[in-house]
Structure 1
Amino acid sequence: MKIPEAETRLFNRRFVCRKCKHKVRASASRIKEKTIVCPKCQSRNFRPKSKEKRVAA
């Protein structure tokens, strides 16, 4: 992505639930400590949002 403001808005502090794919905005330290709970499925496992689009092969 070329525009830095858009990149920070879309990817900075954005995490995706590994179980239900719900997107959550939180600090990385709180995700690491597992204090953030997914509002949809109550899971505590998150990954950072991908910055690249996946292309079907």
Structure 2
Amino acid sequence: MPITLDPEKLKIVIEHRFNYKVCRNCGAKNPPEAVKCRRCGSRNLRLKKFKSK
């Protein structure tokens, strides 16, 4: 069953796959509430980009 047909499952998938921060220096994944990178300690973080169709 495609996930696109069930809006509740789609909401869960989007939150799970796109709700994190990425370090601009080393590219490490960090939790969404992170202030600094877990790998290199940089404070240069951004949210994961998400393009809706």
Q: TM-score, normalised by structure 1?
A: 0.62
- Residue segments in structure 1 that go unaligned for 5+ positions in a row: 53-57
RMSD over aligned CA atoms reads 1.9
Bigger radius of gyration, 1 or 2?
A: 2
Aligned residues: 44
What percentage of aligned pairs have identical amino acids?
A: 32
Q: TM-score, normalised by structure 2?
A: 0.65
Higher relative contact order (CA 8 A, sep 6+): 1
Structure with bigger helix share is 2
Q: Which runs of 4+ in 1 moved over 3 A?
A: none
